[in-house]
Amino acid sequence: MFSQFALHERLLKAVAELNFVEPTPVQTAAIPLALEGRDLRVTAQTGSGKTAAFVLPMLNRLMGPAKVRVDIRALILLPTRELAQQTLKEVERFSQFTFIKAGLITGGEDFKVQAAMLRKVPDILIGTPGRLLEQLNAGNLDLKQVELLVLDEADRMLDMGFAEDVERLAGECANRQQTMLFSATTGGSGLREMIAKVLKDPQHLQVNSVSELASGTKQQIITADHNVHKEQVLHWLLANETYQKAIIFTNTRAMADRIYGRLVALEYKTFVLHGEKDQKDRKLAIDRLKQGGVKILVATDVAARGLDVEGLDMVINFDMPRTGDDYVHRIGRTGRAGAEGLAISLITHGDWNLMSSIERYLKQKFERRTIKEVKGSYTGPKKVKASGKAVGVKKKKTDAKGDKKKTAAKGPTKRKTVNRPKAESLVSQDGMAPLKKRVTRPPVSE
Ligand code: AMP
């Protein structure tokens, strides 16, 4: 029961209005400590209810009578604009019976309109690091009186190259009394460094380890001979599986566009989301999916980051994600807040070793599934090593040029050697399409 927490009655009223009955594990663990004013470092997957775990204590701190606002009192940093928008909505839902106002600052929106909003001084500011820094540098933003700072999806902010920006913004909140950092994964040395810099004697709550990932989600693999065969399997799944809404992940924009084209030709109502789409397209795609006008979304990782769409119960990895953490993020789209979900990865010969490394990383074995109507000839390696990898898969010559197979052989946790979707990340943040970069990058590097 939410009434177990020492939350203001107006917040409990909003919680009841939203039909939240039982707190999720992350809420049970984090809310009391956050209310005490502790610095927290929380490892919890997307979909665990972590937003409410920091928003409710934040609002509780800010509760008070209506008055002229003079200072921004809380700052929430997030990696992508969609996630920032969703967090704003969550804040607005929980603060509906209070006088607390929140504002949003992300890339892709009008700079001057944002500056005007900042002049009215919201109590809570929610945003992505790049644009917040631009507003700061333009003299439009004063964070000196921020009492509470939240870094959400901190691991992803680091992946996207925001470490310095985040630290600079945290430094601007010099008088803060409390900092909370959330990440879906335990992260690496970059995250440890950031934690040491921004948190004071934090309590570490590890609510979901990756191996407990989305327990409501069934995880399967289906082997395929090649991409055209994958398309047949995909078509079969979309036509025969029971689902409310599905998301199909690819590793590259080109592949996302290709699948999208195929699905449109097959008369599926679908949208495609990747970093080259402008903000209007992205909003439209997400709104249609939420309203149910469209049931299928084709997306690259970054474009789909932070999507919280109710009823999204099937995730298909057309391309296997390049790291275990990316897998966790993708599968986090489904089985949210205890709902059932299905995650299916399509695996060719070239994907096998990557898939088996991800299984090892997650300490899970995916269910092997065959569909007789679209069965191919590849059913997995003839012989596997103890690690689950194929025996005798020689690297091909093309591998040296950064072909996906090279990545596949490296395993999911060695991020540095992998062609990371850097440009896709930054593009998604700014809503721009740097064409020059696109030509110089190898096709799989998105
Ligand atoms: P999050 O992990 O914060 O993105 O939350 C995932 C989804 O679960 C959101 O749609 C929340 O509104 C919903 N949610 C969070 N906490 C609860 C709860 N205690 N009961 C029901 N739904 C919840």
Q: What share of the chain is helix, strand, coil (3-state, %, to 5)?
A: 45, 15, 40
Q: From CA 217, how far away is CA 315, in angstroms rounded?
A: 10
3-state secondary structure 260-319: HHHHHHCCCCEEEECCCCCHHHHHHHHHHHHHCCCCEEEECHHHHCCCCCCCEEEEEECC
Q: Average pLDDT over the chain, rounded to whole?
A: 84
Q: Is residue 420 part of a domain?
A: no
17 or 414: which leads in pLDDT: 17
Average pLDDT of span 48-55? 93
33 with 107, same domain: the answer is yes
Sign of CA dihedral 166, 172, 174, 178: negative
Question: Ligand 1 atom 6: the closest Cα is on which residue?
Answer: 47
345 or 330: which leads in pLDDT: 345
Q: Is the CB of 30 under 6 A from ligand 1?
A: no
Token pair recorded at residue 420: 């990371």
Q: Is the CB of 336 under 6 A from ligand 1?
A: yes
114 with 229, same domain: the answer is no
The last residue of a domain, from among 184, 208, 232: 208
Q: How many CA atoms lie within 13 A of 149 on its CB side?
A: 26
pLDDT of 423: 30
Question: Ligand 1 atom 14: the closest Cα is on which residue?
Answer: 49
Query: What is the percent of the chain with per-residue pLDDT over 90, rounded to a whole number?
Result: 60
Distance 116 CA to ligand 1 centre (A): 32
Q: From CA 115, how far away is CA 118, in angstroms rounded?
A: 5
Average pLDDT of span 422-444? 30
How many of the other CB atoms lie within 10 Å of CB of 212? 12
Distance 94 CA to ligand 1 centre (A): 12
183 with 221, same domain: the answer is no
The last residue of a domain, from among 310, 342, 374: 374
The CA R_g of the chain, rounded to the nearest whole Å, is 22
Tell me how many domains the chain contains.
2
Rounded to 10 deg, the angle between the 25-36 and 50-62 helix axes is 30
Q: Is residue 154 part of a domain?
A: yes
Tell me, rounded to whole angstroms, the distance of Cα 75 from its chain centroid.
19
Distance 290 CA to ligand 1 centre (A): 15
Q: Is the CB of 50 under 6 A from ligand 1?
A: yes
Q: Is the CB of 46 under 6 A from ligand 1?
A: yes
Confidence band of 432 (pLDDT split at 50, 70, 90):
very low
162 with 37, same domain: the answer is yes
Which residue range forms the structural domain that includes residue 244? 212-374
87 with 24, same domain: the answer is yes
- CATH value at residue 221: 3.40.50.300
Q: Hey, which of 5, 51, 312, 329 would you mutate to test ligand 1's pocket, going by the most ligand atoms within 8 Å of its Cβ?
A: 51
Tell me, rounded to whole angstroms, the distance of Cα 300 from its chain centroid.
11
118 with 178, same domain: the answer is yes
Sign of CA dihedral 2, 82, 249, 418: negative
Question: Ligand 1 atom 11: the closest Cα is on which residue?
Answer: 49
pLDDT tens readout for residues 205-264 = 987 544 455 567 889 999 999 999 999 999 999 999 999 999 999 999 999 999 999 999
Q: Are 396 and 422 in contact (CB under 8 A)?
A: no
174 with 218, same domain: the answer is no
Query: Please, which residues bridge with residue 125 across strands?
Result: 75, 103
Q: Hey, which of 15, 19, 20, 183 would you mutate to test ligand 1's pocket, going by the most ligand atoms within 8 Å of its Cβ?
A: 20
Question: Ligand 1 atom 15: the closest Cα is on which residue?
Answer: 49
Q: Is residue 431 part of a domain?
A: no
Question: Ligand 1 atom 22: the closest Cα is on which residue?
Answer: 20
Listed as own residue / partner, the contacts of 168-172 with beta carbons closer than 8 Å and 24 or more positions apart are 168/133, 169/75, 169/77, 169/129, 169/132, 169/133, 169/136, 169/143, 170/197, 170/198, 172/136, 172/143, 172/144, 172/146
Evaluate if residue 418 carries a pLDDT over 60: no
Evaluate if residue 81 carries a pLDDT over 50: yes
Q: Is residue 411 part of a domain?
A: no
Q: Is residue 405 part of a domain?
A: no
Q: Is residue 425 part of a domain?
A: no
Confidence band of 335 (pLDDT split at 50, 70, 90):
low
201 with 241, same domain: the answer is no
Rounded to 10 deg, the angle between the 163-172 and 129-137 helix axes is 50
Which stretch of 91-95, 252-256, 392-396 has the lowest confidence by average pLDDT? 392-396
163 with 254, same domain: the answer is no
User: Which atom of ligand 1 is nearest the CA belonging to 22?
Assistant: 19
122 with 190, same domain: the answer is yes
User: Which atom of ligand 1 is nearest the CA belonging to 21?
Assistant: 20
Q: Is residue 394 part of a domain?
A: no
Closest CA to 299 of 323, 330, 278, 336: 330
Q: Kindly list the strands in the beta sheet with 367-368, ordered across the sheet, starting from the edge strand earlier in the chain.
A: 270-273, 296-299, 245-249, 312-317, 341-347, 217-223, 367-368
Evaluate if residue 286 carries a pLDDT over 60: yes
Q: Is residue 414 part of a domain?
A: no
Q: Hey, which of 2, 5, 24, 88 would you mutate to test ligand 1's pocket, going by the most ligand atoms within 8 Å of its Cβ?
A: 24
Average pLDDT of span 93-112? 96
Residue at token pair 């928008």: 85
Q: From CA 306, how far away is CA 46, in angstroms rounded?
A: 8
223 with 136, same domain: the answer is no
The last residue of a domain, from among 316, 351, 374: 374
Question: Ligand 1 atom 10: the closest Cα is on which residue?
Answer: 308
Distance 22 CA to ligand 1 centre (A): 10
pLDDT of 97: 96
Evaluate if residue 74 carries a pLDDT over 60: yes
282 with 365, same domain: the answer is yes
